[in-house]
C-alpha cells in the first residue's frame, strides 16, 4: 500500500466493528513512522484495545511506542475526560453551596451525554494546529461507525443548541463553559472537512453487510462535510488448496460480495489487504500486515483435550424453558451479534413463543438478516431520532395544560439539547426491559462502548430513583435491577475465536460484573475448527482459534457455545434456522486440533 495514499496530517480510520480498523490504523502509523515521519496514534473508542495490540500501556497523554522510533500513542479515556469536565463545572460551587447540593449537581452530570461531550472536547483538541506542529500525522482509530458518527455530529448539535439557548444553563452545567468551546467545535469540524488536512479511510471486509455499512458511513460522512475518502478492503482471501471446499466457499462468498459492491464505494480510491494467518498483536505482526513478508509461523500440531462447549441448539432449549425473559446479545461490533440475535429470536418464535426482537445498534441490519416476516415474531429498532421526537411530543402533551407560551418555549429550548436523545433512548430501552415480564424480548445491542454508555444511564437512573424513594416504595423494580436478575435476564457475550475479540469480551465481562450483571453464556462465533479445512492459511488460523477456545472455556465462560462457520451466509429464515439448529442439544462438543 503506497504511503502517498496517506499524505494528509489527519488520517481517520472508520468502519463497521470487527473489520480491522485498529489493526490497519496501527499498521499504517508504524509504516509512516518507519519512513521517518513523526506520528501520533489515537483511539477514540470507549472499548479501545490499542494497548494490547501495541504491547504498551497507554494513557490520555502521548507515550512513545517501544520499537517504533517516531511513533507515540494515546487513548481518549471517556470516563477520565468526563470526570475532568465535572470538576471544572463543580469547582466554582465548592465552598459556596452545601456539599449535598454539589453532589446533586455531580449526579446530574453523570449521564452518557456528559461523557460524550467531554470525550469530544479531548478529540477536538487533537485537531488544533499545535498538534500539527508536533506531528506529521495524527492517526485516529475510531469506535464502530454508529458511535463515531454520533461523535462527529456533536459539534453541529451543540453549536445549534448554544445558538438557541438563552437562559445560560443546560444539562451539562453552566452555559458559559460550553460557549467557550464553540470555536473549538467549529475548528474541529473545519479541520475534518478540509481535504488538505483530513483523509477518511473507510475500512471494510469483503462481506455484504460490511460493504453496505461502509456505503452508509460514506454517505453520512459526506453529509457532515468529510468528503476526502479512501477505501481499504481488509482480509481478502485467496484459496490455495484446489480441492478444499471450505476455502473455495470462503473465497466465493467474498468474490460475490465484491461483485455487488455499492456504486458509491466503487468510485473511491481502493486498496486490498490480504487475510493473514496470525493475530494482530505486537509490532512485528502489525508491520507484517501491510508487507508481503510474514513473521515466523507458529505452525505445528496442536493437541486439545475434549472441552465441554455447548451447542447453540442446546442453549436455545435452556433459554426457552421459562417461557419469557430478556435475552441481551452483547459484544464488540463485527462479531455477529445481529445474526445470532436473529437466529435465537426466530427459533424461539418458531417454537410458538411470542418474541419481540429489537436493536439499540445504529448500524444493525435486523430486517435484512431475517429477509422476511415470521409468525410470533415482532421486529423493531430503537431509532434515536424517532425516539427523541416521540419523547419531545409526549413531554409537551403531558405538560401542555400547565404551560403558558413562554413556559412552552423554555421547555422546547431544554428539549433541543442533544442530551434529550440519551433520555429518550433510555426510556425506550426501559420499556423493552419491562416487556419481558410476559414474553421474550431479544435485544441486539450496540457495540460494547456504546452499550456501556447506555448501561451507565441505566445505573444513574437507578441511583437517582432509589435515593429519592421512601422506604415503603423500595420494592419498585428499576431496569438495572431487572438486568441484574439472572432469572429475568440472560446476557449472551458474543465473540470471535481471535485474541483481541476475546480480550475485549473479557473486559466487557469485568465491566458488567462491576455493575452487578453476570453474563449467562459466551458464544464463540464463526468457528472453523469443525470444518476440517486443509488450506494452509486456514489451518494456521484454526491453530490460533483453538487456543482462544481453550482460553474462554478455562478462564471466562460459565457456559460456552461454539457456533460453526457456515458455508452460506446466514441470512434468511431458512439459513438462520440451520444456524440455530447447529450441534446436538445438550451434548458436549469435543474440539479437535488440526
| Catalytic positions | 18, 20-23, 45, 500
Our CA angle for 315, 319, 323, nearest 5°, is: 150
Nearest to 23 by CA among 231, 287, 366, 392: 287
Alpha carbons 255 and 237: distance in angstroms, whole number: 9
Q: Taking phi first (over 0 means left), then psi (-120 to 50 degrees means alpha), and beta for anything else, what does residue 442 get?
A: beta
Joined together, the cell numbers standing for residue 490 give 440472560
Contact 443, 359 (CB under 8 A): yes
> DSSP string covering 337-354, please?
HHHHHHHHHHHHHHTT--
Question: Distance (Å, rounded) from C-alpha 517 to C-alpha 420?
Answer: 26
Segments in 241-282 forming alpha helices (H): 245-259, 263-266
**Residue 203 parent element (H or E):** strand 198-204
Q: CA 259 to CA 139: how far, in whole Å?
A: 30
Scanning 363-447, the segments in alpha helix (DSSP H) are 366-370, 384-399, 405-415, 419-435
Which residues, in sequence order, are CB contacts of 383 under 8 Å at separation 6+?
A: none
List all residues 6 or more positions away from 259 whose beta carbon is below 8 Å from its beta carbon: none
The cell numbers describing 270, all together, are: 481502493
Rounded to an integer, what is the distance from CA 338 to the centroid of its chain?
12
Computed on alpha carbons and rounded to an integer, the radius of gyration of the chain in Å comes to 24
Amino acid at each position: 500500500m503506497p504511503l502517498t495514499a496517506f499524505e494528509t496530517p489527519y488520517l481517520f480510520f472508520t468502519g463497521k466493528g470487527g473489520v480491522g480498523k485498529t489493526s490497519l490504523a496501527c499498521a499504517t502509523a508504524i509504516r509512516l513512522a518507519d519512513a521517518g515521519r513523526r506520528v501520533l496514534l489515537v483511539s477514540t473508542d470507549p472499548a479501545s484495545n490499542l494497548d494490547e495490540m501495541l504491547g504498551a500501556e497507554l494513557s490520555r497523554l502521548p507515550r512513545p511506542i517501544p520499537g517504533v522510533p517516531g511513533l507515540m500513542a494515546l487513548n481518549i479515556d471517556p470516563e477520565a475526560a468526563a470526570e475532568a469536565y465535572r470538576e471544572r463545572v463543580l469547582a466554582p460551587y465548592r465552598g459556596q453551596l452545601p456539599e449535598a447540593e454539589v453532589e446533586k449537581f455531580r449526579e446530574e452530570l453523570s449521564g452518557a451525554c456528559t461523557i460524550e461531550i467531554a470525550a469530544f472536547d479531548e478529540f477536538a483538541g487533537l485537531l488544533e494546529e499545535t498538534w500539527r506542529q508536533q506531528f506529521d500525522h495524527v492517526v485516529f482509530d475510531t469506535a464502530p461507525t454508529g458511535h463515531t458518527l454520533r461523535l462527529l455530529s456533536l459539534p453541529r448539535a451543540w453549536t445549534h443548541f448554544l445558538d438557541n439557548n438563552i437562559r445560560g444553563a443546560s444539562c451539562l452545567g453552566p452555559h458559559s463553559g460550553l460557549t467557550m468551546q464553540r470555536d473549538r467545535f467549529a475548528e474541529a469540524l473545519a479541520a475534518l472537512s478540509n481535504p488538505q488536512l483530513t483523509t477518511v479511510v473507510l475500512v471494510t471486509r469483503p462481506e455484504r453487510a460490511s460493504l453496505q455499512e461502509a456505503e452508509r458511513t460514506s454517505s453520512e460522512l459526506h453529509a457532515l462535510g468529510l468528503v476526502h475518502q479512501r477505501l481499504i478492503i481488509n482480509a481478502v482471501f485467496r484459496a490455495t488448496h484446489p480441492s478444499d471446499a471450505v476455502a473455495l466457499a470462503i473465497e466465493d462468498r467474498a468474490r460475490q460480495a465484491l461483485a455487488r459492491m455499492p456504486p458509491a464505494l466503487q468510485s473511491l480510491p481502493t486498496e486490498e489487504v490480504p487475510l493473514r494467518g496470525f493475530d494482530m498483536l505486537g509490532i512485528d505482526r502489525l508491520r507484517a500486515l501491510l508487507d508481503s513478508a510474514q513473521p515466523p509461523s507458529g505452525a505445528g500440531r496442536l493437541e486439545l483435550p475434549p472441552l465441554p462447549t455447548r451447542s447453540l441448539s442446546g442453549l436455545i432449549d435452556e433459554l426457552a424453558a421459562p417461557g419469557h425473559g430478556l435475552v441481551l446479545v452483547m459484544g464488540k461490533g463485527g462479531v455477529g451479534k445481529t445474526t445470532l440475535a436473529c437466529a435465537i429470536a426466530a427459533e424461539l418464535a418458531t417454537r410458538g413463543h411470542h418474541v419481540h426482537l429489537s436493536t439499540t445498534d445504529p448500524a444493525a441490519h435486523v430486517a435484512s438478516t431475517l429477509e422476511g416476516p415470521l409468525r410470533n415474531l415482532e421486529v423493531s429498532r430503537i431509532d434515536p431520532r424517532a425516539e427523541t421526537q416521540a419523547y419531545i411530543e409526549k413531554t409537551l402533551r403531558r405538560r401542555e395544560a400547565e404551560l403558558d407560551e413562554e413556559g412552552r418555549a423554555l421547555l422546547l429550548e431544554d428539549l433541543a439539547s442533544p442530551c434529550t436523545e440519551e433520555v429518550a433512548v433510555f426510556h425506550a430501552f426501559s420499556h423493552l426491559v419491562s416487556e419481558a415480564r410476559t414474553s421474550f424480548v431479544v435485544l441486539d445491542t450496540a457495540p460494547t462502548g456504546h452499550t456501556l454508555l447506555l448501561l451507565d444511564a441505566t445505573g444513574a437512573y437507578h441511583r437517582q430513583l432509589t435515593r429519592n424513594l421512601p422506604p415503603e416504595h423500595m420494592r419498585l423494580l428499576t431496569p438495572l435491577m431487572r438486568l441484574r436478575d439472572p432469572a429475568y435476564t440472560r446476557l449472551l457475550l458474543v465473540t470471535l475465536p481471535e485474541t483481541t475479540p476475546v480480550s475485549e469480551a473479557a473486559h466487557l465481562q469485568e465491566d458488567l460484573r462491576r455493575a452487578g450483571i453476570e453474563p449467562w453464556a459466551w458464544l464463540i462465533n464463526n468457528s472453523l475448527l469443525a470444518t476440517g479445512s486443509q488450506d494452509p492459511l486456514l489451518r494456521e488460523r484454526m491453530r490460533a482459534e483453538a487456543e482462544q477456545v481453550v482460553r474462554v472455556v478455562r478462564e471466562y465462560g460459565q457456559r460456552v457455545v461454539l457456533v460453526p462457520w457456515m458455508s452460506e451466509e446466514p441470512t434468511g429464515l431458512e439459513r438462520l434456522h440451520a444456524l440455530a439448529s447447529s450441534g446436538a442439544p445438550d451434548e458436549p462438543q469435543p474440539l479437535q486440533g488440526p
